[in-house]
Amino acid sequence: MSKINSYFNSSVKPFGKPIGQSFGQPFGQPFGKSFATRWRLTALVFAVAMGVVGVSQATPSARALSAPSARALSAPSAQRPEATDWRAVRDFRRSQWRDRWDQTQNPAAVSGRTALDSAQATEAVSVMAELEKLQATIFTDEQVVEIFKNVRDLRFLEDSQRPDAKRRSTWLFPDDGCFARAALMIHNAFAGSVVVVQKIFSFGNLQVKTPNTPSGTVTWWYHVAPVLRTEKAAFVLDPAMDPIAPLTAEEWLLRQGDDQLPLRLAICHATTYEPFSNCEQGSSVSNEMAENDQSYLLTSEWSRLVDLGRNPEMELGDFPPWLAPLP
């Protein structure tokens, strides 16, 4: 990792503020009791509203949107109940987060165009043209692969239930937490360097095949990951979607696609944390907050592997599925 940082620090000048200076400022205040109460009321209203599409969709939708894993995160949950249109979830989350803005009074979160506001239909956006316009650092293919492997394999998270071993980001729990995984990838790869990289957001009825859920698929209303530019292509770092290699932006979008409703995408600042963060200027989310979001999902990842009949001690330890077969 030090070789990469040394190269970037010495050879590339950034457009705007270096990434290493963008982390470290806290984002608002912790959730309060009044917010939690209003959140539950909003969830109830959402459940009633969903009744227009039938009880079979309303009940699981409300239950999923009220899941504990969605309540304790410092960003809107990316989860989307399979039977629910992404726009219904978007509106619910927007209402929920407006409540939080009222409490935190964080102008950075509500001023300017957000990632969601900036999103356009995929056919209207050239990812490479956007990266060129933003003066994104040009990497070699070899550098992209090396960065991908380094951030994928890095064990840095404290697990309060298993303090004897550090954990990787929650690649094997794709259900939620993409916002924290993306932020930590950029921090772990580039903190202190002067590279210019961006994040790519997708919005829609996203559905991705995965071996890491009981159903074999995961559904989101948005997803986010770092995107790097080379001379010929844009590559997305997303080990939760593909732990073997970086994906081209086109392949990354294709894997999430819904033929019935085209996706929307936005290319945003490296520190844009979630859909309601400022797209052009980023947000002041601290690395500690992103780590807290990831740490909260560590138990979910462990439990998921148990539910799938797999060995979490092995797969989350020295034998992740992408490195070596289990002994």
Q: Assign 40 a pLDDT band (cuts: 50, 70, 90).
A: very low
For 132, the token pair is 């060129």
- Across the range 262-278, mean pLDDT stands at 95
Highest mean pLDDT (candidates 48-57, 136-145, 187-196, 284-293): 136-145
Beta bridge partners of 269: 198
- What pLDDT is recorded for position 304? 98
Q: Is 249 exposed, middle or buried (0-12, 13-18, 19+ CB in 10 A)?
A: buried
pLDDT, one tens digit per residue, over 189-200 is 999 899 999 999
Quick one: fold of 2-28+112-315?
C8orf32 fold (3.10.620)
pLDDT of residue 11 exceeding 80: no
Q: Give which of 319, 136, 157, 308 is closest to 243, Cα–Cα.
A: 319
CA distance 147 to 107: 33
CA distance 65 to 223: 16
- Across the range 231-238, mean pLDDT stands at 97
Domains of the chain, residue spans: 2-28+112-315
pLDDT of residue 69 exceeding 60: no
For 179, the token pair is 């916002």
> What single-letter DSSP state applies at residue 236?
E
